[in-house]
Amino acid sequence: MRTSIARLVGLFALAVVPVAAQVPDSAARIRELRVTVIRAPATLSRLGAAVTVIDSDAIHRGRLAMGLDESLAFVPGVVVANRWNYAVDQRLSIRGFGARANFGLRGVKVLLDGVPQTLPDGQSQLNNIDLSLVSRIELLRGGASALYGNASGGVLSFTTNSIPVAPWLVSARTEAGTFGTSKEELVTGGRVGTAGGTLAVSHFSTDGFRQQSTAEQRRLSLGLAWAVSSNTSITLRFGAADDPRARNPGALTAAEYAARPDSASANNIRRGADKAVTQTQLALGLRHDGSRWHLDFTLYGLTRDLQNPLATPPPPPTSTSEGTWVAIDRRVGGARASATVDLTRSSITGGIDLQGLRDDRTNRRSVNGAVTDALLLDQQEGVTEAAAFAQLSWPVTDRITVRAGARQDINRFAVTDHFLSDGDASANRTMPATSGNGGIAVHLGRAITVWTDVATVFETPTTTELANRPDGTGGFNPDLNPQRSVTTELGARGRIGRLSFDVAAYNTTTHDAIVPYNEVGGRTYFRNAGSTRTRGLEAGLIWTLRPGLVLLGTWTLTDAVFGEYRIPGPTSTDTLDGHQLAGLPRNIARIGIQGSLGHGVSVDIDQAFSSAMFGDDDNKIRVDGWSTGVTGARLGWRGRAGGLALAPFVAVMNLFDRRFVGSVTTNGAGGRVFEPAAGRTIYVGMSVTASGT
């Protein structure tokens, strides 16, 4: 452990000290961005935490806005793998957290306008968030369980606009591209006095570049806001998502990928692997910003209906056309409140989080993707979360700020078995956890902040991970337990003349790590490993060539290995100590140029590189890196025609048509781990906006 920390400090010193030594006292002040992802108002330039803010241009300009791989491309420490499969979401990991997910998102807390999109068991889905409506993303890298509880190895906070600046606004956007891809959006809104709102609808469809990969998505979003007074506001938000189709091509073997990367798994085709989801969410929020105290309160509810035919074979006897049909009827409700009090020399933030989930889950036998009456599983699953937290921020001097906090969580899992032909598997489990963090930030002059921080993180298994039992029976896996991590971090953020930088080094040790050890036809099974160790170095640079034109670069080094992992077998025990964690490339780097060329013309060009990774814990299936890299280019124009604001664009992904693997399905059965990326992909689009004055 001491050796690891010494190496960490050494790497950090090499990255930071030469830069910090050159900082003059007259350096320009970093733009005073305000952030709330730490659950209290804070100024980014003096915040001792690895936080990045992504603005509207980085999310929308010349982008299809269908995945986080576009908007988070230049955030160090973050790996977003585009799986080109709308049935399983993109794979997102922050400092290694989230890498185990073969579907959905794990290990990362997700918020939309302050409303948790992460369930009390740690599951998150991103495909219900319409990035077209998002105006800002705040991303916290590193352990945040002391703030957010379960599965908080990182935090993604999305913000949408509720009230247009103009008295009324109508905006339409249309996009079309390769593989039969199209997207249409309509946004309208207005304001009267201190109240206003926005209504948005969108439709997306694609044939997909692989067999068995067509998808369709519909979104509706309504946001209302009322400024009750100069410092108090009330918001009401409603969102509906309907995904009637998201076919799942599955992962390929090395031979299948080499022969035809746009093919699909034969079993996924025969068994009609697909997904249909509808979801609604309603949230009411209250915010008050007084002279000495700030209050946030949110009450929310969510419904989700999932119909998910998998290629997973049912219990024998079975045929090649038979799969497993999973249906989940979900209800979620919750409340969260936090308050910050500004004292004479410090501030204290405290709050509570309450959340409950109920899933009615049934599994049936399917034939060619069509459900039958043959019931395999019928159970009701429930999860409740109750937590309280407190955080202290204390500016000891003008140059030193201390932050510390703690949180107590109680997570209770319960399952009621209604399918009793194989016995009653009803059970309940309680998983309490205490989390803490502490750190010191040092402000060097007016332009640089250096910090060190220690944080603990806990992550429970999700209900799906608990319910996926290798023997196919109901109930919860009694042998799958929460994982617990400790992260030590050193970081620096600042600006020297035209150069801005954001660097950090960290060391994370995890005990009882939850890892996927087998994947069969879309169903993944999990177990606890003894321990893992993840060390990393991340750096982001922005060099302003001239106003409006910048050169960007990011580098993420992730060294993630099993410290102890033994798999007992019938005759011997596999020892995987020292093996690299599957699905995590050691190095990812990106360089790019973005900005204005004048006369309303903008250009974005970037080159991305990824090193090799492994598709399995045995480290026998090696997935090659991206060789000379993958190129993206976007060209746009913004101007006016009469009273209309116009913004046409053209974008090309994988400009030179490289063949590469975008992501992996870790520990896929029979070596099915390869998830190919698309070749050259072209999009064109146009937005038209009219507004009142």
DSSP 39: S
pLDDT tens per residue across span 60-104 = 888 888 889 999 999 999 999 999 999 988 889 999 998 877 777
CATH code reported for the domain at 2-205+213-277+290-691 = 2.40.170.20
**pLDDT number for residue 19:** 35
Average pLDDT over residues 196-200: 93
pLDDT at 533 over 70: yes
Identify the CA nearest to 167 among candidates 142, 185, 193: 193
Identify the CA nearest to 128 among candidates 217, 33, 191: 217
pLDDT category at 306 given cuts 50, 70, 90 is: very high
Length, in residues, of the chain = 693
Residue 396: count of CB within 10 angstroms of its CB:
11
Q: How many helices (H) and strands (E) does the chain have?
A: 7, 40
Residue 25: count of CB within 10 angstroms of its CB:
8
CA angle 278, 282, 285 (to 5 degrees): 155
**pLDDT number for residue 147:** 96
**pLDDT number for residue 581:** 94
Identify the CA nearest to 315 among candidates 474, 205, 200: 474
SS3 of residue 296 by DSSP:
strand
**pLDDT number for residue 323:** 94
pLDDT at 672 over 70: yes
- For 70, phi then psi, to 5°, come to -80, -50
Q: Which residues pair with 119 in a beta bridge?
A: none
Lowest mean pLDDT among 53-67, 332-346, 403-417, 586-600: 53-67
**pLDDT number for residue 12:** 39
Average pLDDT over residues 220-232: 94
pLDDT at 453 over 80: yes
CA angle 430, 436, 440 (to 5 degrees): 170
Q: Which residue has the higher pLDDT, 477 or 616?
A: 616
Identify the CA nearest to 284 among candidates 232, 352, 225: 225
- For 234, phi then psi, to 5°, come to -125, 135
pLDDT category at 485 given cuts 50, 70, 90 is: very high
**pLDDT number for residue 317:** 87
Task: State the chain's mean pLDDT as an integer.
Answer: 90
Q: What percent of the chain has pLDDT over 90?
A: 74
**pLDDT number for residue 463:** 86
Q: Residue 463: how many CA atoms within 13 Å on its side-chain side?
A: 28
Residue pointed to by tokens 């604001």: 645
pLDDT at 11 over 50: no
Spell out the SS3 assignment of 388-410. EEEEEEEECCCCEEEEEEEEEEE
pLDDT at 644 over 70: yes
Lowest mean pLDDT among 123-127, 415-419, 637-641, 643-647: 123-127
**pLDDT number for residue 8:** 38
**pLDDT number for residue 521:** 60
Instruction: Say if residues 501 and 543 touch (Cβ distance below 8 Å).
Output: no
CA distance 76 to 555: 6
pLDDT category at 117 given cuts 50, 70, 90 is: very high
pLDDT category at 472 given cuts 50, 70, 90 is: low
CA distance 661 to 622: 11
pLDDT at 274 over 60: yes
pLDDT category at 16 given cuts 50, 70, 90 is: very low
**pLDDT number for residue 3:** 43
Q: Residue 202: how many CA atoms within 13 Å on its side-chain side?
A: 28
pLDDT tens per residue across span 602-632 = 999 999 999 999 999 999 999 999 989 999 9
**pLDDT number for residue 518:** 72
Residue 693: count of CB within 10 angstroms of its CB:
6
pLDDT at 25 over 50: no
SS3 of residue 264 by DSSP:
coil
Virtual CA dihedral for 426, 421, 469, 571, nearest 10 degrees? 120
SS3 of residue 429 by DSSP:
strand
- Assigned token pair, 274: 């697909």
Greatest mean pLDDT among 111-115, 122-126, 286-290, 608-612: 608-612
pLDDT category at 522 given cuts 50, 70, 90 is: low
DSSP 266: H
Could you tell me which residues come within 8 angstroms of residue 110 by beta carbon, excluding any fewer than 6 positions away?
Answer: 116, 117, 118, 124, 126, 129, 155, 156, 157, 158
Break the chain into its structural domains and give their ranges. 2-205+213-277+290-691
CA distance 512 to 442: 34
CA distance 516 to 667: 7
pLDDT category at 26 given cuts 50, 70, 90 is: very low
Rg (CA), the chain: 25
Dmax (CA) of the chain = 79
Instruction: Say if residues 249 and 212 touch (Cβ distance below 8 Å).
Output: yes
pTM: 0.91
**pLDDT number for residue 622:** 96
